[in-house]
Chain A
Amino acid sequence: MIYLDLLIGFLEVGMFSFGGAYAAIPLIRDVVSAHEWLDDEMLSYMIAVSESTPGPIMVNLATYVGSNKGGLLGAFIATAAVMLPAFFIILFIMVLEKSFLKNLYVQAIMRGLKPCVTGIILATGVYMILGNCYIKTEKSIDVTAVLITCGLALIYFGFRKFVKKGLSPIGLICLAAVVGVAVYGI
């Protein structure tokens, strides 16, 4: 039952994505790959689209996956599911338990979660970068992709040294699009 899968999958995402949109990406990747809804490539495309359209990235991703798998109702269920935990947790903190986050055990949990989430995001980023540079069908390294990766990383991280705010994520995505058209189109 696709609607139930969407509901449970995105409730999990909404409940465990500590630390913003990028913390949700590994969780969304778990859900979409467990059900074989999207592969890494399509997920990357959607992350780029979500980053370049307005609104919370997590909501954008949930709406896309939901719509792709279950039409309007699917989109509605996935989006509501990803938002509900945040909504109720904030209400819980404001209405019932203002000092909830100051509880020493809650803080101990947070101390464990933060580095864990960081490690998970790091592993996902590294794996996705390596996946882009490897041609599965031929079992060989994609030299063009390696060169583009190094070039973009150099520009993106190097930019910060010279310009105070650096290149924005949308700036990097636009640049990468131009590079893609130029390199693969010719």
Chain B
Amino acid sequence: MSVLIELFLTFARIGTFTFGGGYAMLSIIENICVEQKKWITHDEMMNITVIAESTPGPIAINCATYVGYKRGKLTGAFFATLGVAIPSFIIIFAISMFLEGFLEIVWIAHAFMGIKIAVGILILDAALKMIGKMKKKPLQVGILLASFAVITLINMLKIHLSSIVVMLTSALVSVAFFIVQKGHGKEEQI
């Protein structure tokens, strides 16, 4: 029982004090779970990072579920995941009740007119960082350009087509490419 409470409180602390989303959280989780509490090893932390990056969903949730499961199986995973999400839930729920009224204050509205420009830059920056880290083989570059073009078209023409369709198509193209290459016995070259 105390294991569960400790998991919950530790992850609630991580959820309360980390700003900037998942990647910022990874270093805090490493600090607390590896160095302080010794719940998992450095290798396991590396493993979590890889898994979190290649599975969908919030990175903090992936980590909490992983560490929670290691410490306390299914219930451990549940309590750790609950812990990491509850602080933001409470904070954002409170903000949501007065945000719109808040935006009616003139100088706040002005501040947010500047802030919305910053958000565009942050999204662009996230994409540029991902391009920097990406493998630049023909398949990858082709998919990148094609998805960019399709989504831009969807945005401009205001078509209701989910990005998920574009993602599934890209996955299919990549698998087809893999099967063809495999057929030619060129696996290592992908």
Contact = CB atoms under 8 A, between A and B. Distances in A.
A14 B54 CA distance: 13
Contacts of B126: 20, 22, 121, 125
Interface string B93-137: 101110100010011001111111111111111111011001100
B55 A145 contact: no
Contacts of B134: 114-115, 118
Given A111-B135, A157-B125, A180-B115, 16 more contacts: A14-B56, A18-B167, A19-B53, A30-B164, A44-B115, A90-B66, A94-B70, A113-B167, A113-B170, A116-B171, A119-B144, A120-B163, A145-B117, A149-B117, A176-B114, A184-B114
Interface residues on B, range: 35 or more
A86 B55 contact: yes
B88 A20 contact: no
Contact of A18 (B54, B69, B119): B54
A38 B63 CA distance: 30
Interface in B144-185: 144-149, 151-152, 155-156, 160, 162-164, 166-167, 170-175, 177-178
Nearest to A145: B117
A75 B96 contact: yes
Interface residues of A, number: 101
Q: Is the interface of A mostly helix, strand, loop or mixed?
A: helix
Nearest to B140: A115
Contacts of A101: 50-51, 54-55
B13 to A, nearest CB: 10
Contacts of B125: 125, 156-157
Nearest to A15: B56
Interface of B: 15-23, 25, 50-51, 53-62, 65-66, 69-70, 74, 77, 81, 84-85, 87-89, 91-93, 95-97, 99, 103, 106-107, 110-128, 130-131, 134-135, 139-141, 143-149, 151-152, 155-156, 160, 162-164, 166-167, 170-175, 177-178, 190
Contact of A125 (B51, B120, B170): B120
A177 interface: yes
Interface in A169-186: 169-170, 172-173, 175-181, 183-185
Nearest to A173: B118
A122 to B, nearest CB: 4
